[in-house]
Chains A and B, each alone.
Chain A
Amino acid sequence: MSTYSDGIPTSFDPALLNSELEFSNAPASNSFSDDLHAIQECFADEKAKKTSAGIVIQHRIWNTLEAFRSEEDYPIDTPLKHLKNAPLRRLPTDSDIPSSPPVMPLISSPVAYPASSLANPTSPKKRKRSDAERSPLRDVPNNNASRRLGAFLDDSDDEDDIAALKEQALKRRAINSIKDLPALPDGMDDYTPPASQPEIADSEAVPIEALDEYLKSPSPVKQPAARLDEPTSAQPNRGRVVRTASGKPFYLPKKIQRESVSYEQLIASRSDGDQGQARQSYYGINIHRLIDDAKAMDEAKSAQQERTRAEPTRQSVEQPMPGKANRTLMWTEKYRAKKFTDLVGDERTHRSVLRWLKAWDPIVFPGAARQKPKIAKKGFEEEEQKHRKILLLTGPPGLGKTTLAHVCARQAGYEVQEINASDERSKDVVKGRIRDMVGTENVRGVNTTTAGGKVRKAGKPVCVVVDEVDGVVSGSGGSGEGGFVKALIDLINLDDKNSKSIGQQSSTGPKRKKKGDKFRLLRPLILICNDVYHPSLRPLRQSSFAEIIHIRKPALNMVVSRMQEVFVKEGIQCDSDGVRRLCEATWGVSTKKEGGTGSGTGEGDIRGVMVVGEWVAGRFRSSMDPKAKETPRLSRRWIEDNIINDLGHGGGAARSLGRGGAKDVVDRVFREGAGFPKQAETTDVKTATARAKQGVVGVAEAAKKRAMARLREMVDTSGESDRIITDCFSAYPTKAFQDDNYLSKPTAAYEWLHFHDTLSSAVHGSQEWELAPYLSQSVLAFHSLFASPRQQSSNPITDPDAETSPFSGPSANYMASEELKKNKAQLMALQSTLSLPLTRQFRSPEEMALELIPYVLRMLSPDVKPVIVNTGATGSKSVATASVRKASEKVLVKKAVEAMAATGVRFERSRVELEDVANRTGGWVFRMEPPLDSLAAFETLGGKKDEKVRYAVRSVLETEWKKESVRMDAEAAKRRGGHLDTDDTVEDAKEEIDVEKVAEENKKVLKRDFFGRVIKDVPVGQGVRREKNVVKHHDEGRIWVSFHEGFSNAVRKPITIDELMRGL
């Protein structure tokens, strides 16, 4: 029993086993046993022949173990084996038996099982069960060890067998029964059952192929016999016929012992023998030859490489190649300006950036800055006011804004901390990172000093560079619209406020402690953007905080000379002419010869030129003839011959067109030729032929056609045809167009607009994408209708504050709808604060807007002329209070206060920083809260009221409201207290007192106790009412201290002698 368990490792999956056993059930193999015998015999014969002939067949064991195979197991075919023996399947085995399946060693045990026990293996199920039971006992190592050798040996043997099979096909048929077989020696029968025990030891030594063989062997019974014979069998193959317990005779071929052949030999012999078969096996090919071949190929290849490399190498030797990093760096990085003097472009711009940075010196390097005399210091204080806190560099891409910022910052002694598009840029980033970076006296390398405890040498202050700011808003969804910029502005506002307070401190003497933090902008902050008119940057632009520096395109000469320098450094001789042509071609600028006025899409783009230059250099090098003696020059001619077509419009190396975005497209729509450079037709063969084909007549028409094509491309690439059309629609009335006396062009344009609307709704509404290509047509129609050669002298961009209408520009409708939403929300909020009767009266926001708001505003700005009383002696401290004297005005004020009470509108005093220098106090303003006045403010409605009058009126209202609210509070308290007096006379009497009290209160600041509750300070003389309460709660003579937790925020302030005397 246990003998055959060896084949199954303990880890063997019973499920797999089962599945295999299922296989074994399938065919009834018994009937074919005779055939099998025949086959085996044939094998044996063949082998014997081979042996005698001296043909080496390795792995005798294999055959030996065939004996162990039970007939029932033939069909066993594991999926694994399946694959492995795929060729075997193809064999022409005529018999019905499944072609001798080389079975996986794993299967051996279930198969073998009947061989040992053999009692009656009729029921596979039973066998299966027993296997499962036995599985833990199985011996693993045998299986593992044998498996190592597995693959090729097995296969090779199979092949041998196959060959044998082929040869013996006829013979096999002939032999039908075992009767022809030689008689079975008697002694053999006895061995059958006990054979298993001794075998254990053997089977462990037997490799897996042996097991395979053993499986294949037709008779399980005879196996022990064969095994027994094995050691002694030096005799040539002689099979035996054995009988099973059921009396079936089997032929057992004799194992032929062969000396083991070393693998090398085997390979050698096989490789020599038949190549075709050897190819089928895994290792049938001479590996050494393969290796040699491979080596030879390698050598050949490397030799070739050597050869090809030889020329360039020599060149690079003779030409100066800077640095060893040149392989890895792109030119744009490699030749990025490192020094201030390296910068290409308008030097004044660079200087202004540097100056701005230098203006930070007194803040950043307080000590290190050269000590200026006091006067100069004072001058700086004023200069600081002018000094804007943020630098906004703007300009088209590739002009070197980032480089400029970096270089200047480095020049000024800063360490650049860059935040660019790859970083998260939300409101929180500003509040956290940027704020920390900018608001602390930060030197780079602080982290290491704290962690390592060692001070890094020469820590530099940080300069924060935020790159690609205009991408900030659109990108971040979570932080909300304008979060970044708004947070930035808040930051600057805070700094501004704090710095002002500091200034006050120094002037007035007593230290004023801010409740807010003492954030100050201590490090320069540079923002870089492409489009300063990006909507997200509008607040920044309109606020005066940012110093905006437009980076202009560098002069062509500078770029050319720079590029030439670079080319020379790269070891390419070049003409300045050629480089110039290259730049022009890259930027899409028309050359002087072509006489174009049109601007290229990327004019001045140094980066672009660098990239193209690198590419051109590569191409130039590869095109150079190494044999040529004189080094070729990168000449204009070469450029024009090789490069221009690629660089030109539609060429493979054409730079991106759609970089201008919608604004640029709209700009181009209204320009003749769409602002593209006119190309010289003659130089361009392709277009010339195309023109000939199309039968285009005039030059102008051709140019127009070309412009149209390019414009369409731009529109398509921009993907914002809707926006472009909207912009065109809003822009065309301001543009001058020609040849139109009867407004026929606008009429046509409206047709086109309608067309676009239809298309757009079809495309975007009902997903008719096939119409999408036509979306650009309307834009082109606009171009065709309204393009004029007249230069748009008044660029609307240049004076952004010239806009008078509240909503203008491309996003006007959006802004309007936003505003509408905002106002609606305000109205809703207001409605919620309305008193109950009013709420009933005005049910919807619309109603309120029409019927309530105008009147409320009217009521809240009563036509009174308040008199300013009590202008404080000290000016800054005491607030001027306004009051109304006239009785009629008092009535008005009273009404207004009532309106305030009813609508919940309040006035809040807040400080605004006014821009004009004339108003030196900055200014306090009473803001309406909720800001209803903004709802009813019409900018076109002239007659601005005097600010001061409004302020006074509002302050009067506010004080009156305070009184009123106190009164109402008192009333409410009384009502809560239980004695609800509706008696008006009593009220009036009370009110008298209250008015005084309130007046007193107005003088004082509202006192709050520790919990933030308002302490109603009761003047000693009038505190009768309260004291009654007190007495109620506490017994008569009680004296106690009520302790005030926390620290005292008592303020020591100077008093005048008057005040002193008053107290005495």
Chain B
Amino acid sequence: MPTIPLHPRPFAPSATAQGSNPLPPLLRTPSGLALLELQGDIRFPPTAAQASTQVGKLVFPLYSPDLNGEDDTKWMKRVYLYVGKNQRMAGEVKKLVKPFAVIRKRDVADSEDVVMGDAEATSTGEELEVVEIVKYKILFATRPEPVGGEVE
């Protein structure tokens, strides 16, 4: 049985990500990732394959911590995801029954993993670290609605 050392996440979150994160604090994660669940494929032009592409915008229409306070959870009922120019998906924020851990390979200095993907490589001192613990997900269960192109 191969074992791999798994490190807890670095305690200090990257401040830069934190600061610029527009998400509600509930969804906020140190690295700025959020778990998105939708039933379907996101299609985008192939040219965008290499670079990061902006798929759309997440909007929390009911989220207004100024009015309702931080503890309010009503905003979780409605989340909009504008995809491209013409689609809007309505979803909600849900708490995961089991939180997910996002792990990544830790860069160990001595292992130059040339044979990536090879099963042999695991035993040669790879290590994992937990990047995130995701407790909430944004679930889009319904079919996207068409919206006018003026959204942008």
Which A residues are closer than 8 A to B by beta carbons?
1020, 1023, 1027, 1030-1031, 1036-1045, 1048, 1057-1058, 1061-1062, 1064
Is B69 in the interface zone, CB < 8 Å from A? no
B4 lies within 8 A of A1041 (CB)? no
Scoring B residues 72 to 105 as 1 if CB is less than 8 Å from chain A, else 0, what string do you get? Answer: 0000000000011111010000000000000111
Residues facing A in B97-128 (CB within 8 A) are 103-105, 117-119, 121-122, 126, 128
Q: Which among B4, B47, B119, B121 has the greatest number of chain A C-beta atoms within 10 A?
A: B119
Is B43 within 8 A of A1040, CB to CB? yes
CA distance A308 to B25 in the complex (A): 109
Distance between A269 CB and nearest chain B CB, rounded to angstroms: 106
Q: Which of A1027, A1038, A1041, A1064 contacts B40 (CB 8 A)?
A: A1041
In angstroms, how far is the closest chain A Cβ from the Cβ of B81?
8
Q: Within 8 Å CB of B38, what residues of A?
A: 1041, 1043
Q: Is the CB of B86 within 8 A of A1040?
A: yes
B32-72 contacts to A, CB under 8 A, are 38-47, 49, 53-56
Residues in A neighbouring B44, C-beta threshold 8 A = 1038-1039
* A1040 and B2 within 8 A (CB): no
B2, A1039: Cβ atoms closer than 8 Å: no
On chain A, the residues within 8 Å of B104 by CB distance are 1064
Q: Is B105 a contact partner of A1064 (Cβ separation < 8 A)?
A: yes
The 4 closest A-B pairs by CB, nearest first: A1039-B84, A1043-B40, A1058-B119, A1039-B44
Residues B143 and A1043 in contact, CB atoms below 8 Å apart: yes
Docked Cα-Cα span, A1043 to B145, in Å, equals 10
User: Interface of B with A (CB < 8 Å)?
Assistant: 2, 4, 38-47, 49, 53-56, 83-87, 89, 103-105, 117-119, 121-122, 126, 128, 143-144
Partner of A1039, one of B43, B105, B119: B43
Residues in chain B near residue A1038, CB distance under 8 A: 43-45, 84-85
Cβ of A1050 to closest chain B Cβ, rounded Å? 9
Q: Considering the chains assembled together, what is the distance between the CA atoms of A676 and B143 in angstroms?
A: 83
Q: In the complex, what's the smallest C-beta–C-beta distance from A475 to chain B, in angstroms?
A: 53
Complex-state Cα separation, A1030 to B41, whole angstroms: 15
- Which residues of A have CB within 8 Å of B43? 1030, 1038-1042
Name the B residues within 8 Å of A1062 (CB-CB). Answer: 117-119
Taken together as a complex, chains A and B put the C-alpha atoms of A1048 and B37 apart, in Å, by 11
* Interface residue from A1037, A1044, A1058, A1061 paired with B39 (Cβ < 8 Å): A1044
Taken together as a complex, chains A and B put the C-alpha atoms of A1064 and B42 apart, in Å, by 22
A1057:B122 contact, CB within 8 angstroms: yes
Chain B residues in 8 Å Cβ range of A1030: 43, 46
Contacts of B119 in A (CB 8 A): 1058, 1061-1062
Contacts of B83 in A (CB 8 A): 1039-1041
Q: List 18 A-B contacts (CB under 8 A).
A: A1038-B44, A1039-B53, A1039-B54, A1040-B42, A1040-B84, A1040-B87, A1041-B42, A1041-B43, A1041-B89, A1043-B38, A1048-B39, A1057-B2, A1057-B122, A1061-B105, A1061-B117, A1061-B121, A1062-B118, A1064-B104
* Beta-carbon contact of B49 and A1020 below 8 Å: yes
Q: Which of B46, B85, B121, B143 contacts A1027 (CB 8 A)?
A: B46
Q: Smallest CB-CB separation from B44: which chain A residue?
A: A1039
Per the bound structure, the CA–CA distance linking A1058 and B122 in Å amounts to 7
Complex CA distance for A297 and B47, rounded to whole angstroms: 118
Q: How far is the CB of B125 from chain A (nearest CB, A)?
A: 12
The distance from the CB of A321 to the nearest CB of chain B, in whole angstroms, is 75
Interchain CB contact under 8 A, A1039 and B143? no
CA distance A1030 to B46 in the complex (A): 9
CB pair B45–A1037 under 8 Å, yes or no, is yes
Identify which of B122, B143, B144 contacts A1061 (C-beta below 8 A): B122
Asked whether, in the complex, the Cβ of B144 is within 8 Å of the Cβ of A1043, the reply is yes
From A1059, which residue of chain B is reached at the shortest CB distance? B119
- A contact residues around B42 at 8 Å (CB): 1039-1041
Cα distance A1036–B47 when bound, in Å? Answer: 9
List, in ascending order, chain A residues with CB within 8 A of B54's CB: 1039
- Given B41, B46, B85, B121, which contacts A1041 in the complex, CB threshold below 8 Å? B41
Give Cα A1042–Cα B39 distance, bound, in whole angstroms.
Answer: 8
Name the residue on A nearest B4 (C-beta). Answer: A1057
Which residue on chain A has the smallest CB distance to residue B120? Answer: A1058
Chain B residues contacting A1064 (CB-CB under 8 Å) are 103-105, 128
Give the residue name and chain of the B residue nearest to A1048 (CB).
B39
B53 to chain A: which residues have CB within 8 Å?
1039
Closest A residue to B40 using CB positions: A1043
Bound CA span A736–B38, Å: 81
Interface centre among A1036, A1037, A1061, A1062 (most CB of B within 10 A): A1061
Distance A1036 CA – B43 CA, assembled complex (angstroms): 12
Sample of 12 further A-B pairs with CB below 8 A, known A1023-B46, A1041-B38? A1020-B49, A1031-B46, A1036-B47, A1037-B45, A1038-B85, A1039-B45, A1042-B41, A1043-B38, A1043-B144, A1058-B2, A1061-B4, A1064-B105
Asked whether, in the complex, the Cβ of B126 is within 8 Å of the Cβ of A1061, the reply is: yes
Complex interface: chain B residues within 8 A of A1048 (CB): 39
Q: Closest residue to A1020 on the B side, CB-wise?
A: B49
| Residues on A with beta carbons closer than 8 Å to the beta carbon of B56 | 1039
A716 to chain B, nearest CB (A): 76
- Counting chain B CB atoms within 10 Å of each CB, the highest count among A1027, A1040, A1042 belongs to A1040
Within 8 Å CB of A1045, what residues of B?
A: 143
- Whole-angstrom distance from the CB of A359 to the nearest CB of chain B? 42
Q: Is B45 touching A1036 in the complex (CB atoms < 8 A)?
A: yes
When distances are taken between beta carbons in the complex, the residues of chain B under 8 Å from A1039 are 42-45, 53-56, 83-85
A747 CA to B83 CA, complexed, in Å = 94
Write the chain B residue with the least CB distance to A1047. Answer: B39
Give the complex CA separation of A1042 and B40 in angstroms: 5
Could you tell me the distance between the alpha carbons of A1057 and B128 in the complex, rounded to whole angstroms?
Answer: 11
User: Which residues of chain A come closer than 8 Å to B87, judged between CB atoms?
Assistant: 1040-1041
A1061 to B105, CA, bound (A): 8
Measured in the bound complex, the distance between the Cα atoms of B47 and A1020 in whole Å is 12
Distance to closest chain B CB from A980 (angstroms)? 27
**How near does chain A come to B21, taking the closest CB pair, in angstroms?**
22
Bound-state Cα–Cα, A1038 to B38, Å: 19
Complex Cα distance A1037/B4, Å? Answer: 42
Complex-state Cα separation, A1043 to B104, whole angstroms: 29
Rounded to whole Å, the gap between the CB of A1041 and the closest CB of chain B is 5
> Which residue of B is nearest A1024, CB measured?
B46
B91: shortest Cβ distance to chain A, in Å?
11
A contact residues around B144 at 8 Å (CB): 1040-1041, 1043
Q: How far is the CB of A696 from chain B (nearest CB, A)?
A: 95
Q: Cα distance A1057–B105 when bound, in Å?
A: 13
Smallest beta-carbon distance B24→chain A, Å: 22
C-alpha spacing A747/B9, complex, angstroms: 100
Chain A residues in 8 Å Cβ range of B45: 1031, 1036-1039
A1026 to chain B, nearest CB (A): 9
A1043 proximity list for chain B (CB < 8 A): 38-40, 143-144
Nearest Cβ distance between residue A1016 and chain B, in whole angstroms? Answer: 14
- B122 contact set on A, CB distance < 8 A: 1057-1058, 1061
Q: Select from chain A the residue with minimum beta-carbon distance to B146.
A: A1040
Q: CA of A1037 to CA of B83 in the docked complex: distance in angstroms?
A: 12
Q: How far is the CA of A500 from the CA of B147 in the complex (A)?
A: 51
In angstroms, how far is the closest chain B Cβ from the Cβ of A86? 94
A945 and B104 alpha carbons, distance in the complex (Å): 52
- Interfacial chain A residues near B126, Cβ < 8 Å: 1061
> Please, how many angstroms separate the alpha-carbon atoms of A1044 and B86 in the complex?
17
B119 vs chain A, min Cβ distance (A): 4
Who on chain B is nearest to A1046 by CB?
A: B39
List the A side residues contacting B118 at CB < 8 Å.
Answer: 1062
Q: How far, in whole Å, are A1041 and B145 apart by their CA atoms in the complex?
A: 10
Contacts of B47 in A (CB 8 A): 1036
Distance of A212 Cα from B66 Cα, bound (Å): 117
Q: A847: shortest Cβ distance to chain B, in Å? A: 52
